[in-house]
Amino acid sequence: MRGPGGPALFPPEVVVHVKALACELPARHGVPISRWSLDELTRHVRQSGLVASLSKTTLWRWLHEDAIRPWQHRCWIFPRDPQFATKAGRILDLYQRQWQGKPLADDEFVISADEKTSVQARRRIHPTLPPQPGSPMRVEHEYKRMGAWTYLAAMDLRGPKLFGRCEASSGIAAFGRLVDQVMTQSPYRCAKRVFWIVDNGSSHRGQRSIERLQGRYPNLVLVHGPVHASWLNQIEIYFSILQRKLLTPNDFGSLRQLAESIQLFERHYESVAKPFEWKFTRRDLNQFLHRLQSHHQPHTALAA
């Protein structure tokens, strides 16, 4: 239907039906594509008999009203750890300096630790040129691989205080050396408890890692996060800063130069950084999981 001298008018139920269609996967309607484009969705609406005529502009306007972008996608991981809330909640409590409902004492510390694997040293075929008026820094596209480190780091969240080391590879022994690097010095050596927040990587996974590390350091408490929840570990934020501020662009003449640059960056970061303002609490976690349970059925989550 078309208004007097104006654009076509459509009943509200048609608009709602089309929006619902945009929120479904094309395969459910026998269309062999992975996601709707504006062209494909417009064509399908016309062919389905919902409307006799529909322009892409009108369809885009309808979708824009509710910020529906069926042609976009992003990867995610649905929480599958049956103890997700419990494990994540312990970490969030530690960020609030709480453990099992009690505040931490002054001589108790929280450490966030992990490995950043395959940190490459790439020597550019032509020297990098500094920025000039009207011209950005120029980095040669071609490079020679000079090798790679596994960078292990631990961060005292109260400082922040950083401890890091470059190792030829990751593993139990390499992570053990990082733990020794921290736990053999003051104030951690004599602390009441030192909580180590880690993920489920093979070098510090499961009950055996707890027994191994706490056997060496009785005041160490190893706290594993849920599976596929590295976003809960604050050391990952530091790794992203390191990647952005030091490793991009990557132009290092040797592994030794790369290791020295990382060590210098650690000291620089300590001198300018402040503790992260972590605002996501256990209450926020519970609300998030409730929304996830309400709005994402298992088949939808897996398909996404």
What is the pLDDT averaged over residues 107-121? 97
* Cα distance between residue 216 and residue 210, in whole Å: 10
Q: Is the pLDDT of residue 303 over 60?
A: no
Residues 6+ away with beta carbon under 8 Å from 121: 145, 146, 147, 148, 149, 250, 252, 253, 254, 255, 257, 258
Question: Residue 255 pLDDT > 80, yes or no?
Answer: yes
Share of the chain above pLDDT 90, in %: 85
Burial 256-295, CB ≥16 within 10 A → b, else e: eebbeebeebbeebeeeeeeeeeeeebeebeeeeeeeeee
Average pLDDT over residues 253-275: 96
**What is the tens place of the pLDDT at every residue in 177-201?**
999 999 999 999 999 999 999 999 9
- What's the pLDDT at 271? 94
Determine the residue type at 66: D
pLDDT of residue 295: 64
Closest CA to 259 of 149, 172, 169, 142: 149
The mean of the pLDDT values for the chain is 92
For 208-248, the pLDDT digits (tens) are: 999 999 999 999 999 999 998 989 999 999 999 999 999 99
**Dihedral (C-alpha) 265, 266, 267, 269: value to the nearest 10 degrees?**
80
More confident residue, 207 or 292: 207
Is this model's pTM higher than 0.85 or not? no
